[in-house]
Chains A and B, each alone.
Chain A
């Protein structure tokens, strides 16, 4: 493409770190936009990006989270399009980004299906993934759309059902257009984007990748929500029982899978996409556990 610079947005910082690493490897200039709220709660990833040579630019407009980081990344990209490629981190944004990101993430679904078969000698009964923009979810789902597995996408239920308290687009949203995508959107009566809340930066976004809206409408995937508290509990549970620190985003999927496992007989198999590691969240979780 002849471009020597990339920009990216990041919420939890995982995509920012990945982009910064790739940019370092390829020797291109990298700038990552990140809401200042997210920079504070995902500080380890900010340090990682900087160590990898990326410039991290704090965004303090709007809700100071992922949505606003995307706004700034898009403004930068339109200004510098001759030199700059936008490495969008989720399965959203204008066409063809949702398709491109789905294809890149589809490796998760292909490998998971193969590995699951090797380990369990069968298909899973359910596949569970958390859904912010929805890239990890669309990646793993794409490998199982043709299977008979029940597919569950877990959104951020936050601290309640009021507008501004969650990021559950399918239960609290309506059809709208944001960042070049027509999809389910948390918006008010006048079509202004609503504020969102989630304990996890990566799920704290008012719109969902458009392919998820399609999978919701077709009924192939069931979308549900898990609260901040349930996610924090699942975070602890996976640490204690498996010694694995999940990202707070992925802890939402763990929490829902736990509920499903309690309902289902032991003979049924559930595959959970552990989309990110939780060391980035450790300080934040300890702070939240200590109470206000």
Chain B
């Protein structure tokens, strides 16, 4: 089984949702990203989505836009993201997902990028702006390189499109909690259980993870009751951004709370 599949399997065995953390690679430096990844693992993260910064991040809210700007300012490219991933691979047991807009991957060449991603230790890849309609040959190339492929399903996806996204996905199906860009929201949308139910129907046995807008242990706890995995990105990046040199401690502390919230057993209140 792939490291990604294994992460979900183990989480299921422990009656919790897998905790999937997101970092923009190179924000604000390669070294910082490696240290943050180690802190996330210590805090209990199971999967790390490593974001490739892009000049035009149309799916991202202000926090991840700023992260991309900082990462680009220090010279981060898809090539250096592979270097960062290799360092994280050798120092952690996190499952690693390459998270990118499609153009940097397209520019390197899908086959070369897939090979280098696998060599760097990535376990899967997700390209935000790669529509299922155009994805079949790319998915084939990524799978042959040994990578899982993850696609997005959103509340606005009709059933047929959800099925298509699920059919192209391995590892897990990523359910976007609400229409719109990435970023923390005060609460989860009311129709989330319905969206997840539709995604379940499309995904069959494939695990599903919920992301976009989950920022607190409270929202993570609710998402963990619905799905097999919970993705948190902007809140972690914002915590690092706000803490400056104290970023490792800030991210580790937030991540610890989120990881605990992914457990489904009712704990006695203190």
Contacts and interface: CB of A to CB of B under 8 A. Distances in A.
Interface of A: 61-62, 67-68, 71, 74-75, 78-82, 94, 175-180, 182, 185, 187, 189-193
B56 A75 contact: no
Given A81-B156, A176-B103, A180-B129, A75 B58 contact: yes
A54 to B, nearest CB: 22
Interface in B70-85: 72, 77-79
Contacts of A74: 58
B261 to A, nearest CB: 26
A78 B180 contact: yes
Q: Is the interface of A mostly helix, strand, loop or mixed?
A: mixed
A175 B58 CA distance: 19
A10 to B, nearest CB: 17
A190 B78 contact: yes
Contacts of A190: 77-79, 104, 107
B169 interface: no
With most chain B CB atoms within 10 A of its CB, the pick from A74, A75, A80, A189 is: A75
A78 B129 CA distance: 13
A67 B104 CA distance: 17
A94 B179 contact: no
Contacts of B105: 191
9 contacts: A71-B57, A75-B58, A75-B181, A189-B77, A190-B107, A191-B78, A191-B105, A191-B106, A192-B77
B205 to A, nearest CB: 29
A175 to B, nearest CB: 8
A177 B104 CA distance: 9
A179 B58 contact: yes
Nearest to A194: B55
The contact size tier of chain B is 20 to 34
A191 B104 contact: yes
A105 B55 CA distance: 30
Contacts of A193: 55-56, 103
Interface in B99-155: 102-108, 129, 131
A75 B72 CA distance: 21
A208 to B, nearest CB: 15
Contact of A189 (B57, B61, B65, B107): B107
B56 A62 contact: yes
B156 to A, nearest CB: 6
Interface in B40-99: 54-59, 61, 65, 72, 77-79
Contacts of A81: 156, 179
A61 B60 CA distance: 13
Contact of B179 (A79, A178, A187, A191): A79
Contact of A78 (B54, B79, B181): B181
Contacts of A189: 77, 107
Contacts of B61: 75
Q: Which of B54, B55, B59, B102 has the most CB of A within 10 A?
A: B55
A175 B108 CA distance: 11
